[in-house]
Amino acid sequence: MSNGRLAASAALVVVCLAATAHAGFKYSSLSVVVDQHDRYSYGSLGATRNNASTQEYIGCSSFGTSAGCEAWAVNGGYVACWTSDPVMAGVAARLTSDGGVYFTWDSNGNCTSIATSSYSYYDPKAP
Report d(CA 86, CA 83) in Å as an integer: 8
Q: What is the pLDDT of residue 112?
A: 98
- Each domain of the chain, given as residue ranges in start order, spans 33-117
pLDDT of amino acid 18: 39
Residue 15, exposed/middle/buried by CB under 10 A (0-12, 13-18, 19+)? exposed
pLDDT number for residue 29: 64
Question: pTM for the complete prediction?
Answer: 0.77
Question: Residue 126 in contact with residue 49, Cβ under 8 Å?
Answer: yes
Residue by residue, pLDDT tens for the chain (127 residues) are: 454 444 433 333 333 333 444 456 666 567 899 999 999 999 999 888 888 888 999 999 999 999 999 999 998 999 999 999 999 999 999 999 889 999 999 999 999 999 999 988 888 888 7
